[in-house]
Amino acid sequence: MRENLRPGLRIISGAVDELLINHEPWTGLAPCSQTDPEIFFPEKGGSVKEAKAICATCEVIEQCLHYALINDERYGVFGGKSERERRAMKPRKCHECGNPVLGKAIRYCSTECSAAGARRVRSEIERRRKARAI
């Protein structure tokens, strides 16, 4: 059962009582919007196979996963990924500006931030070198 709360928001009731979700334009294309939400929010230790099978047929799976990562969705299956799988993918922050970056080995979100970080490191090395010389 769905009822409109205010523009952009809706509530889904059922076993997942009053789960408030942000209504993104792509959600209408997702097969999960026509499916019982309990499938996507199994009890602890429950299977996510059925939810992932539905996600595998979804044309907006990438948008869903991106939404879950950016909005820190901690429970349920989003974008074909379980809570644990999304935690491992969670965006890290750029060491220079704080913007999100994806990837374990990536420290900066852009070449500008990378250059600024390198300047900051060189400056710190020079400061320490001068301090030792005194």
The pLDDT tens digits of the residues spanning 92-119 come to: 788 888 887 866 667 888 889 889 989 9
Binding-site residues for [4Fe-4S] cluster, in ranges, read: 32, 55, 58, 64
Tell me the C-alpha distance between 80 and 83, whole Å: 10
The pLDDT-based confidence of 11 (bands split at 50, 70, 90) is very low
Binding-site residues, in ranges, read: 32, 55, 58, 64
Lowest mean pLDDT among 63-77, 102-116, 118-132: 102-116
- Provide the phi-psi class of 14: left if phi over 0, else alpha when psi is between -120 and 50, else beta: left
